[in-house]
C-alpha cells in the first residue's frame, strides 16, 4: 500500500506543474518539462507529461521527446509510433531516432533507410555525431553500414566549414581567417559562410565585427535561432548584458524549447542588477532541474548580490547536500558566512573546501582573513603565506601588516 501511495504522490508532484502548463501558448514548456524529466531518468513521468501536452499541442518535437522517453523505458514499439507521428507533422523530424531504434533492434536495412532520409534534410547530423552515437553500435560492423559511409554525404562546403569550426575551436585564428577568405571567394553571398565568419570573429574576441555580421544576417532572416543564439553569446561576452538578455528573451518568446536559455538570461539579469528577474528565471530552471549545481550556485550569488545573505546560504546549503564532494560548494557558502561576519562558520566551510581542493589560493586567503578576525594570528599567517604561494598576490599586504615581526 505504501508503494502505491508513494507512486501516486510522485505523479501528483509531476502533474501539478503540468497542469500549470495548460496556460502555455506554445508546446515549448511541455517539451522542456518532458526533456527535463527524461534527463533525470524519470521516463515514465516524462511520457505522462508529453501525452498530456500533445492533447493541446500536437508538435513534432513533443512526439520526439515522448519517443525518447519510451525508448528509455524499453518500449520501442511506442517509440516508433510516436516518431512516425512526428514525421507526419514534419517530414524527417523523427527519422534520426527511428534509425537509432532500428539499429538497436539489429535491423540495419531499416535503420540506414531512416538515416539516409535524415541526411537528405535539414535534420542532417555530422559524421562525428553519428559515429559516436551508441545507438548504432549493433550495426556498425555490418556490410550495410560500411557501404553507407562510402557515399559522399557531405558537400565540399560542409567539409570546409567543419574544418573551420575545428580550427577556431582550438584557437587557430590566423588559419581560420585565411580559410574564411577562400570560402568567401568560392561561395560569395552564402549565409553559412557569413555565419562561420561571425563565429570566427567571436572566437577571436572581435565582438563588434561579429555583431555587425550577425545583424546583417538577421535583417534577412530575423527569426533564425542559430543566428540569434550566437548574437546573444557575443553580446554577453562583450559585456552587453542588457542586449544579451533581450536577445535571449526573443528566443524564449518565440517558443525555443531550451531550458538553458533561462539560465543564460538569469546571468544577464544578475549582471544588470535585475535580481528579481534573475531569480524568477533561476526558479523556472530549478523547477525543471532541481539538482542543478550551476543554477543553485547562481541563485546563491544572486541572493547575495541582492543583499539576502540568509537566502543565499539556503541555496548554497542545498548545493552542498546535493554535491558534498564539490569544493566550490563549500567555498561559496563560506563566502556567504564571510560577508555576514560569521568567521568561525566561514573558516569551517573553507576548511572543507581546502580538504577537497588544497590548491585554491583564494580560499586560503579568505580563511586566513577569517582566522585573523577570530584572533588566530599564527594560523592565519600560515594560510596567508599559502595563498601567496598559490599565486594570490592580495595576500602580500596582509602578510606585511600581520605576519612580519
> Among the three residues 97, 125, 153, which one is the final residue of a domain in this structure?
153
The answer to whether position 159 is within a domain reads no
Q: Is 147 exposed, middle or buried (0-12, 13-18, 19+ CB in 10 A)?
A: exposed
Question: How many CB atoms are located within 10 Å of the residue 254 CB?
Answer: 13
The answer to whether position 319 is within a domain reads no
Mean residue pLDDT of the chain comes to: 92
The answer to whether position 130 is within a domain reads yes
Classify residue 323 as left (phi > 0), alpha (psi -120 to 50) or beta: beta
Task: Return the axis-axis angle of helices 43-56 and 2-20, rounded to nearest 10°.
Answer: 40
Cα–Cα dist 382/379, whole Å? 5
> DSSP code of 274?
-
Number of domains in the chain: 2
Phi, psi of 374 (to 5 degrees): -90, -5
Tell me, what's the pLDDT at 24? 54
The answer to whether position 113 is within a domain reads yes
> Among the three residues 100, 124, 153, which one is the final residue of a domain in this structure?
153
Cα–Cα dist 21/57, whole Å? 11
pLDDT along the chain (405 residues), means of 10: 40 43 74 97 97 96 98 97 98 97 97 97 94 96 96 95 94 95 95 96 97 96 96 97 97 94 98 97 96 95 93 95 94 94 95 96 96 94 94 92 85
Tell me, what's the pLDDT at 366? 96
> DSSP code of 125?
-
Cα–Cα dist 32/15, whole Å? 14
The answer to whether position 340 is within a domain reads yes
Q: What residue numbers bound the domain in which 399 lies?
A: 324-405
Tell me, what's the pLDDT at 19? 44
**pLDDT, tens only, 187-220:** 999 999 999 999 999 999 999 999 999 999 999 9
Tell me, what's the pLDDT at 315? 96
Q: Give yes or no for a contact between 350 and 334, defined as CB atoms under 8 angstroms apart.
A: yes
CATH number of the domain residue 31 falls in:
1.25.40.10
The answer to whether position 309 is within a domain reads no
The answer to whether position 119 is within a domain reads yes
> Among the three residues 111, 135, 153, which one is the final residue of a domain in this structure?
153
The answer to whether position 242 is within a domain reads no
Amino acid at each position: 500500500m505504501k508503494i502505491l501511495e508513494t507512486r501516486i504522490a510522485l505523479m501528483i508532484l509531476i502533474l501539478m506543474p503540468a497542469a500549470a502548463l495548460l496556460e502555455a501558448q506554445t508546446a515549448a514548456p511541455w517539451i522542456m518539462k518532458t526533456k527535463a524529466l527524461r534527463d533525470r531518468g524519470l521516463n515514465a513521468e516524462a511520457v505522462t507529461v508529453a501525452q498530456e501536452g500533445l492533447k493541446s499541442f500536437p508538435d513534432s518535437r513533443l512526439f520526439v521527446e515522448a519517443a525518447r522517453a519510451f525508448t528509455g523505458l524499453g518500449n520501442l514499439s511506442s517509440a516508433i509510433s510516436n516518431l512516425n507521428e512526428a514525421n507526419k507533422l514534419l517530414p524527417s523530424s523523427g527519422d534520426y531516432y527511428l534509425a537509432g531504434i532500428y539499429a538497436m533492434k539489429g535491423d540495419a536495412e531499416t535503420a540506414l533507410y531512416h538515416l539516409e532520409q535524415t541526411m537528405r534534410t535539414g535534420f542532417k547530423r555530422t559524421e562525428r555525431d553519428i559515429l559516436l552515437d551508441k545507438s548504432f553500435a549493433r550495426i556498425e560492423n555490418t556490410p550495410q553500414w560500411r557501404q553507407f559511409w562510402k557515399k559522399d554525404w557531405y558537400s565540399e562546403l560542409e567539409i570546409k566549414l567543419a574544418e573551420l569550426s575545428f580550427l577556431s575551436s582550438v584557437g587557430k585564428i590566423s588559419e581560420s581567417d585565411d580559410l574564411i577568405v577562400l570560402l568567401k571567394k568560392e561561395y560569395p553571398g552564402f549565409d553559412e559562410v557569413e555565419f562561420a565568419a561571425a563565429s570566427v570573429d567571436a572566437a577571436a574576441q572581435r565582438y563588434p565585427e561579429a555583431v555587425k555580421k550577425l545583424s546583417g544576417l538577421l535583417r534577412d532572416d530575423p527569426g533564425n535561432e542559430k543566428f540569434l543564439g550566437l548574437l546573444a553569446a557575443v553580446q554577453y561576452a562583450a559585456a552587453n548584458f542588457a542586449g544579451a538578455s533581450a536577445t535571449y528573451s526573443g528566443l524564449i518568446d518565440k517558443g525555443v524549447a531550451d531550458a538553458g536559455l533561462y539560465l543564460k538570461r538569469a546571468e544577464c539579469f544578475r549582471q544588470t542588477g535585475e535580481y528579481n528577474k534573475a531569480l524568477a528565471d533561476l526558479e523556472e530552471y530549478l523547477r525543471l532541474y532541481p539538482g542543478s549545481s550551476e543554477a543553485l550556485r547562481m541563485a546563491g550569488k544572486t541572493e547575495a548580490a541582492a543583499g539576502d545573505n540568509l537566502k543565499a546560504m539556503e541555496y548554497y546549503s542545498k548545493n552542498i547536500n546535493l554535491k558534498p564532494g564539490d569544493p566550490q560548494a563549500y567555498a561559496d557558502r563560506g563566502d556567504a558566512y564571510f560577508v555576514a561576519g560569521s568567521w568561525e562558520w566561514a573558516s569551517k566551510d573553507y576548511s572543507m573546501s581546502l580538504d577537497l581542493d588544497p590548491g585554491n589560493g583564494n580560499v586560503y586567503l579568505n580563511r586566513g582573513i577569517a582566522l585573523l578576525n577570530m584572533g588566530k594570528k599564527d594560523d592565519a599567517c600560515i594560510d596567508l603565506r599559502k595563498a601567496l604561494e598559490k599565486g594570490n598576490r592580495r595576500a602580500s599586504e596582509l602578510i606585511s601588516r600581520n605576519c612580519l615581526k
